[in-house]
Chains A and B, each alone.
Chain A
Amino acid sequence: MSATIHGAATALSTFNSVDSKKLISPCRTNLPARSKRCIVAGSDASKRSGSRLRVGHSQKLIPNAVATKADTSVTTGTGHELLLFEALQEGLEEEMDRDPHVCVMGEDVGHYGGSYKVTKGLADKFGDLRVLDTPICENAFTGMGIGAAMTGLRPVIEGMNMGFLLLAFNQISNNCGMLHYTSGGQFTIPVVIRGPGGVGRQLGAEHSQRLESYFQSIPGIQMVACSTPYNAKGLMKAAIRSENPVILFEHVLLYNLKESIPDEEYICNLEEAEMVRPGEHITILTYSRMRYHVMQAAKTLVNKGYDPEVIDIRSLKPFDLYTIGNSVKKTHRVLIVEECMRTGGIGASLTAAINENFNDYLDAPVMCLSSQDVPTPYAGTLEEWTVVQPAQIVTAVEQLCQ
């Protein structure tokens, strides 16, 4: 389903699947008709046995894997400016308008609008049954979402903070990820599980969890992390339309990012990484909030004469090894910057994947900058030291490029 080439170098030349760029041909048709057609196209595409690429949905819309700089509009339309949480809300609202089966459940998502206001106004518009306030039990409302999904709804389950979803681990791992498989394909679970995670501003250890590292092994789920209003909306829409369970990781500190996004409807491909800044000297792989630390470091690096290529991997499970591979082949040096802990984080898996697949192309060992294996402390100074800072990134690049 990923539009990527995964495998050793030799496999690339023999891979005869459709080039991902060719697939993203914009198709401008009327919006309502387009939406209808998209559903059909999507399901057909997945049923065609020859099709290894599940891009049915994105075939008719304008998926943009290659992100432009944050402040330029990607289409000819004027676009509109909004904050990241508003982009998420817009995506969610559009999907709820489009498909009456989409519903939202979580704590305080209804009239309160969600603790980060992502569901603001939705309860007034769609009713308090479709935007459901649940009692406090993460395992229960996640289980509820799974049951509803197996009966035909498309729930968007919100964890007030990603860390609380640890309580839902049983339902996510044993049921969400597994039931499509163990039922022999009889039941699908098209849920989206989303919520804010990551290290915030002095929220304490329990509210600063990076759950992507815990969930990455669960078979049957997909994980994506959004980082800009553009990809937040696009990924939200794509996740809702996906037939697989998708976990969408948002970051507490990114909700107020402002950007201008297109007026036209678009979705982002769930399995593609985003090229933030093309370059020649080194590949920096990152996601979520660390993207901004990397870009800040990139400014310094450019002044010092380096040309880093920055890729926001976006898809945490599965990795977009096509984009990453192409980059590694160009630059031969990789630096991974993440917020996860050192042990068992996304960086650890990514390092292993790169070493396994692109070993021949590396001029230096893959370096990974992550948080230390400590619970996130409350004190501001201590907390700052647990998160990778731009200065560290600059030093690491200088070291790698020697």
Chain B
Amino acid sequence: MAILFARSRNLVSILRQNLGLSTILTRRDFSPRPFVFTASQLYSTAFVGPVSSHRHESTAAEIHPGFVQQSDEEDVQELEFPGGKIGYTSEMKFIPESSSRRIPCYRVLNEDGQIIPDSVFIPVSEKLAVRMYEQMATLQVMDHIFYEAQRQGRISFYLTSVGEEAINIASAAALSPDDVVLPQYREPGVLLWRGFTLEEFANQCFGNRADYGKGRQMPIHYGSNRHNYFTISSPIATQLPQAAGVGYSLKMEKKNACAVTFIGDGGTSEGDFHAGLNFAAVMEAPVVFICRNNGWAISTHISEQFRSDGIVVKGQAYGIRSIRVDGNDALAVYSAVRSAREMAVTEQRPVLIEAMTYRVGHHSTSDDSTKYREADEIQYWKMSRNPVNRFRKWVEDNGWWSEDDESKLRSNTRKQLLQAIQAAEKWEKQPLTELFNDVYDVKPKNLEEQEIGLKELVEKQPQDYPPGFHV
């Protein structure tokens, strides 16, 4: 992929400087130089080129354990320990719990939708920018209409992504269709970008006969193998080790693709977050971890979730390259995810992106966030820090979008959604057989029995079952 240059700065040279991207397989500074490289170690790296040789370095026999070596250049004394040489000091210094300055976040557009001078970013064509904006607006309309539908009692549950449209769409735009996405639950925009239709979204929410999940999951738990979007599973963070597994699978098959997985700020407290990152790092798996730090985990503010400087600092603890990005800046998210994806695939390593944002909506339709946060705070983020408006300003300033386009898009999308909901509502639900299918690949005897038993029951007393309930 050709990395294009923006403005007067050379993106590649910046990256080269900061990250040593010039050689694809950059040796880390603290990787131990093996004293002994046995034939079996060389042989067993046959599967994936030189990258996997790194995995053996730390297990290579050290000839002189405990031997204090002194290099000729400086008077630095180092000790041998498992894992490599470590310099020592007689000064007792504790690493502070936090650094004096928080890690800055990467941003390209200012709040008025103007490119910040001297920014480094991957340029976006008119076609791409317009598509991105359209999808962000569509996501907004979709969230609004489905939320209302839930309030009207037409669907049982919904979860909005209000305030996080830039993360949803810009990250999706930066990926290739072969990249496997393991979402948490606030990323329907990724599926939307990949071509899931509004009708398909509605069908899943209504759990009707056309739902690909066959009515077995709650609303918003979308999944589509055609779009490489794994079915959402409610428990938090379970997708992170699975993403390491997907990365491992892609690495084994040497595919030009990576795993991309999303998590919220609250989800990073789960054990699976730490294990998933650690595993991906040790396996050298091509995984991009995107953390949507939106400030709230239902009613738990991030100050009660962790004491670190957000999530980006945790990457280094696992040996993972990380970046903090302004999640409400679509261009920044696009550049960061695109670069991260390239790094993950070409260098076969995981990358962590912390996207700072704000959860404007309630956690879900089962939540009323005004109970635990100020209405002013919500208003502020909704109006002044709105990612959709910000990107819209930039697109409009470029002459690629107009007021007319805006009203047409919103009214068309709204119409389409209302029609989709009406159709999905009318569509019949799954028959009884779908209760017992797909538990295994082929129905076992006990399930067949249970199905027959239930069928008989329903046929005997149809008045006890809701109308339209069919076997």
Residues of A whose CB lies within 8 Å of any CB of B are 1-2, 4-7, 46, 51-52, 54, 103, 123-124, 127-130, 132, 134-135, 137, 139-153, 155, 170-171, 174-175, 178-188, 219-220, 222, 242-244, 271, 318, 321
Q: A129-B251, A132-B283 are in contact. Are A244 and B440 (CB under 8 A)?
A: yes
Interchain CB contact under 8 A, B252 and A103: yes
Interchain CB contact under 8 A, A132 and B248: yes
Binds A, one of B43-51, B308-316, B376-384, B415-423: B43-51
Binds A, one of B25-33, B95-103, B270-278: B270-278
Q: A46-B441, A132-B283 are in contact. Are A150 and B246 (CB under 8 A)?
A: yes
Q: Which listed residue (A140, A152, A318) contacts B445, Cβ 8 A?
A: A318
User: What is the bound-complex CA distance between A115 and B443, given in angstroms?
Assistant: 36
Interchain CB contact under 8 A, A147 and B244: yes
Interchain CB contact under 8 A, B213 and A153: no
Interchain CB contact under 8 A, B241 and A141: yes
What chain A residues lie within 8 Å of B48 (beta carbons)? Answer: 129
Interchain CB contact under 8 A, A170 and B235: yes
Interchain CB contact under 8 A, A185 and B214: yes
Binds A, one of B83-91, B187-195, B223-231, B387-395: B223-231
Tell yes or no: B243 within 8 A of A by CB.
yes
Count of interface residues, chain B, beta-carbon cutoff 8 Å: 63
What chain B residues lie within 8 Å of A143 (beta carbons)? Answer: 238-242, 244-245, 272, 275-276
Q: Which listed residue (B40, B240, B246) contacts A124, Cβ 8 A?
A: B40
Q: Which listed residue (A6, A124, A178, A186) contacts B233, Cβ 8 A?
A: A178
Q: Which listed residue (B52, B240, B246, B253) contacts A128, Cβ 8 A?
A: B52
Residues of B whose CB lies within 8 Å of any CB of A are 40, 43-48, 52, 55-56, 180, 182, 211-214, 216-217, 221, 223-225, 230-231, 233-235, 238-246, 248-253, 259, 271-272, 275-276, 278-279, 282-283, 437-446, 448-449
Query: In the complex, which residue of chain B has the Cβ closest to the Cβ of A126?
Result: B47
User: What is the bound-complex CA distance between A234 and B238, given in angstroms?
Assistant: 32
CB distance from A294 to the nearest CB of B (A): 25
Interchain CB contact under 8 A, B238 and A128: no
- Give 30 CB contacts A-B under 8 Å: A7-B449, A46-B442, A123-B44, A128-B47, A129-B47, A129-B248, A130-B47, A137-B275, A137-B279, A139-B241, A140-B244, A141-B279, A143-B241, A143-B244, A143-B276, A144-B241, A147-B230, A147-B242, A147-B259, A148-B248, A149-B245, A181-B438, A181-B439, A182-B217, A182-B231, A182-B233, A183-B223, A244-B441, A318-B444, A321-B445
Query: In the complex, which residue of chain B has the Cβ closest to the Cβ of A42?
Result: B441
User: What is the bound-complex CA distance between A36 and B283, given in angstroms?
Assistant: 31
What chain A residues lie within 8 Å of B444 (beta carbons)? Answer: 1-2, 271, 318
Q: Which listed residue (B216, B238, B245, B253) contacts A182, Cβ 8 A?
A: B216
User: What is the bound-complex CA distance between A220 and B446, given in angstroms?
Assistant: 12
Q: Which listed residue (B233, B250, B259, B448) contacts A52, Cβ 8 A?
A: B448
